[in-house]
């Protein structure tokens, strides 16, 4: 007798995707003046979902001009009133949660249970949290004098389109700034639904402007007349932005790539750790900046953990992202699939042992089976470079000191995980890890009241909690 899951597809009836979406500038949707219109595609089926206007340089300038025109009025609004607007946005996100989750899954390829249970609720939670902070900023800033920066340009990635928009817009609005947001070119739809919500919430015209576009639109926004730039994306692009803004006096925060270590000690609850490893690397197909892509196992339990992990990986369900039973959905784009494939081939060429789950992959769309690499050397590309896919590399260590040394042997420093039932050991190791976030006996757990950000080539600045407010203000008289 064989037990299996019956299909449990989420109905698309709760989400209406318009044939075309324009730019959201000055409180209304407008056609691009010098931009183009492109198709956004479902990566699981390669089906065209909608036509989306992309901003050109002139459209970027119009959006910044609209934000500049609204800046003084928004900053002068009583803080309690600004908080009420954020609260309305949060409530509308909740009301449209099912629709947003479906569209996020269709446009990005992630499993519906992740969109439904993580992305959308956390996006609403960030707006709720910063709605509460709007009239309490003097406590966040310890009584220092402050003022909003003015107009902020924000560029968000394709892996968490709605959530990253919330991370950036909510603190910017709470502190009295206006914003121009550029969503990623492959996943613009939920940002445009957020524009509809902002319109419904009645925000003054120009306070939030949302302009989909490609990398050239992002470059135009960074170099435009904005007072602060917030970027989440690749380290290479982050470095270009930093060079472009050097000496300009503009504020900048960067949340970039990662190659995060997930450290399992011999005294950990191993079954719990295996679930955390799965969550750390296969959540959202590994399209996570802080993914636990470097698994460090203490030698005494390495063989057992690998055995348990492989058995668990073989039970992962890969397939239709709209199926509520799916664990691993589609890779976001053909370009990203090509990069993952190239990195995995490099790992094999360099002598690591590849183990990929044997599963039937759909013929259409972009897919990659969950993969583990054993016998990984510290200098292997798969141990050093960010893959941004469902691929975990396994290495071993003998002592806590060696674990810390190997974990910190990276150009990145975004996150880490520590698995042990010894609290003193956990705190000692965590204090020595050069990572912005360290989880103990869990992984990929986020809260709007907690700060997130990295060190080294993972960027600088923090998002979330009261620490996420500071980048959006100027201190002093």
Q: Please measure the distance between the N-terminal and C-terminal CA atoms of the chain and give it in whole angstroms.
A: 74
Would you give the DSSP letter of residue 328? B
SS (H, E, C) 197-257: HHHHHCCCCCCEEECCCCHHHHHHHHCCCCCEEEEECCHHHHHHHHHHHCCCCCEEEEECC
Q: How far apart are CA 128 and CA 408, in angstroms?
A: 35
Residue 255 known to be catalytic: yes
Instruction: Read off the tokens for 230.
Output: 């917030």
Question: Would you tell me how many other CB atoms lie within 10 Å of the CB of residue 338?
Answer: 12
The secondary structure element, H or E, covering residue 151 is strand 151-155
Pairing status of strand 23-25 against strand 28-30: antiparallel
The CB-side HSE value for 344 (13 A sphere, CA atoms) comes to: 20
Strands 294-298 and 36-42: unpaired
As separate numbers, helices (DSSP H) first and strands (DSSP E) second, the chain gives: 16, 22
Q: Please, what's the b/e burial string for 357-382 (b: 16 or more CB within 10 A of its CB; e: otherwise)?
A: beeeeeeebbbbbbbbbbebeeebbb
Compute CA 217 distance to the chain's CA centroid, rounded to the nearest angstrom.
20
Residue 297 host element (H or E): strand 294-298
Under a CB-based contact definition with an 8 Å cutoff, are residues 316 and 278 in contact?
yes
Cα gap 293→272, rounded to integer Å: 17
Q: Pull the structure tokens for residue 323.
A: 């199926």
Q: Which of 10, 65, 185, 255 is catalytic?
A: 255
Q: How far apart are CA 22 and CA 36, in angstroms?
A: 10
DSSP state of 395: E
CB proximity list for 287: less than 8 A, separation 6 or greater: 110, 158, 159, 331, 332, 336, 388, 389
Q: ∠ at Cα 221 (218, 227), nearest 5°?
A: 135
* Catalytic residue positions, numbered: 255
């Amino acid at each position: 007798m064989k037990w299996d899951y019956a299909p449990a597809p989420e109905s698309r009836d709760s989400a209406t995707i318009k044939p075309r979406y324009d730019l959201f500038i000055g409180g209304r949707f407008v056609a691009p003046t010098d931009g183009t219109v492109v198709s956004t595609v479902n990566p699981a089926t390669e089906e065209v979902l909608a036509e989306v206007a992309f901003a050109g340089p002139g459209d970027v300038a119009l959006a910044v001009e609209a934000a500049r025109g609204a800046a003084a009025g928004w900053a002068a609004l009583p803080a309690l009133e600004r908080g009420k607007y954020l609260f309305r946005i949060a409530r509308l996100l909740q009301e449209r949660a099912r629709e947003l989750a479906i569209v996020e899954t269709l446009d990005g390829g992630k499993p519906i249970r992740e969109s439904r249970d993580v992305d959308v609720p956390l996006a609403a939670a960030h707006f709720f949290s910063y709605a509460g902070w709007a009239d309490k900023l003097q406590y966040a800033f310890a009584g220092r004098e402050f003022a909003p920066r003015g107009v902020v340009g924000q560029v968000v990635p394709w892996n968490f389109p709605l959530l990253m928009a919330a991370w950036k817009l909510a603190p910017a609005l709470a502190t009295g700034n206006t914003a121009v947001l550029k969503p990623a070119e492959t996943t613009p739809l939920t940002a445009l639904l957020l524009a509809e919500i902002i319109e419904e919430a009645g925000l003054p015209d120009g306070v939030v402007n949302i302009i989909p576009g490609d990398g050239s639109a992002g470059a135009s926004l960074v170099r435009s007349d904005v007072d602060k730039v917030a970027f989440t994306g690749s380290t290479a692009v982050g470095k270009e932005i930093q060079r472009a803004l050097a000496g300009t006096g503009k504020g900048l925060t960067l949340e970039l790539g990662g190659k995060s270590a997930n450290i399992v000690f011999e005294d950990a609850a191993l079954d719990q750790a295996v679930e955390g490893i799965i969550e750390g690397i296969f959540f959202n197909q590994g399209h996570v900046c802080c993914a636990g892509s470097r698994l460090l196992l203490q030698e005494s339990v390495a063989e057992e953990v690998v055995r348990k992990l492989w058995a668990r990986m073989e039970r992962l369900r890969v397939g239709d992202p709209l199926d509520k039973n799916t664990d691993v959905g589609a890779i976001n784009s053909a370009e990203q699939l090509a990069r993952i494939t190239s990195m995995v081939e490099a790992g094999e060429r360099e002598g690591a042992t590849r183990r990929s789950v044997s599963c039937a992959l759909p013929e259409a769309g972009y897919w990659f089976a969950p993969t583990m690499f054993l016998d990984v050397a510290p200098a292997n590309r798969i141990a050093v470079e960010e893959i941004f896919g469902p691929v975990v590399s396994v290495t071993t260590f003998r002592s806590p000191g060696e674990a810390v040394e190997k974990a910190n042997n990276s150009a990145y420093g975004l996150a880490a995980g520590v698995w042990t039932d010894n609290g003193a050991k956990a705190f000692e190791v965590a204090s020595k890890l050069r990572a912005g976030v360290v989880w103990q006996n869990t992984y990929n757990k986020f809260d709007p009241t907690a700060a997130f950000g990295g060190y080294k080539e993972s960027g600088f600045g923090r998002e979330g909690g009261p620490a996420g407010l500071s980048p959006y203000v100027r201190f002093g008289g």
